[in-house]
Amino acid sequence: MNLKHHGWIVALAFLALAPVVNSQQPVKIKQDKDAFEFYIGNDLVTRYHTAGFAKPIFWPVNAPGGVPLTRNYPPPEGQAKDHPHQKSAWFCHGDVIPEGIDIKSKIKGVAGVDFWSEAKGHGQIQCKSVAEIVGDTKIMTENEWRTAEGQKIMDEARTIRLYDLGKARLIVVNIDLHASVCPITFGDTKEGSFGIRINDVINAGKTGKGKIQNAEGKIGEKDCWGQISAWCDYSGPIDGKEVGLAIFADPKNAYPSVWHVRGYGLMAANPFGRYKHAQFPAMKGNDKLVRLDKGQHLQLRYGMLLHSGDAVSGEVAQAYQRFVELRGKE
């Protein structure tokens, strides 16, 4: 899909240099075909793809020094090819229920529309427009969440910013979900929502050398999966360099994030999963689903910290505080 072919005007070239955090490196955004490239200095930090996939994705996602933190796609020879829908980094949910709309393509176990998997009948998140913000390090996009047949069930405004923290890079994503078409219920499933698939060489399973750690200092899938935490981190050695990626959940989000994090390489912050179906231990006794009346908005804010070292040496906890502080300046 080419934005220009649909008559949308996208006039985003290199943005003016913007204020940075703890660094003199310029932060720039460059328009590419159906994507936007985020740079610090001459280093590509990430490329945000607005078309060509079932939903917008960040790919690649690079640590300082250009080390690739997330799964390449298609996976290189010798690396895991499971879960083909887990493409680098994304935001969506696996069961979005539009009240009053007949869903023709049903997926087993999903009450509404599945935006997580790419099974037959899955939904798609389509970027409809991108607005330029001159003099800042951000882009604003308008997305439509659609059924497999192309019927819109929800609108979304998404703003993406890049910060240079000196020793690390921070990508902040502000999400505004708008039940513009009908009431929306977010189903109880573990398959959500702000997620990444880590570089296969540092998965925390049988084949990788990675480590999972959350804000409470718990380590490994067993102690982190299904728990509420402010952040979760995946780290390990890639090409001789210790690097990591942390996902931050803003404490002012209306719903806390429960972590769907697996040793095979998945890490996702899920504000919608509960206990009955998702089986999140932290949500035991809470089966109340998130629901939006028609016209209602839900705002969520997440971050991706791309750092050297592990969660401790990479000072992830300190960077999380900067993430919180930056909210008031955005």
Q: What pLDDT is stored for residue 5 in this prediction?
A: 35
Q: What pLDDT is stored for residue 16 in this prediction?
A: 32
Phi/psi at 323 (5° precision): -55, -45
The full 3-state SS of 224-263, as one line of letters, equals HCCCECCEEEEEEEECCEEEEEEEEECCCCCCCCEEEECC
Q: What is the pLDDT of residues 263-288, one digit of tens each?
A: 999 999 999 999 999 999 999 999 99
Q: What pLDDT is stored for residue 166 in this prediction?
A: 92
Q: What pLDDT is stored for residue 14 in this prediction?
A: 32
According to DSSP, residue 148 is labeled: T
Q: What pLDDT is stored for residue 131 in this prediction?
A: 76
Q: Provide the CA 195 distance to its chain's centre, in angstroms.
A: 5
The reported pTM is 0.91
Q: What pLDDT is stored for residue 78 in this prediction?
A: 77
- The whole-angstrom separation of Cα 323 and Cα 326 is 5
Sequence-distant (6+) residues with CB within 8 A of 47 are: 32, 35, 36, 37, 38, 58, 59, 60
Query: Which residues does the chain have with pLDDT short of 70?
Result: 1-24, 132-136
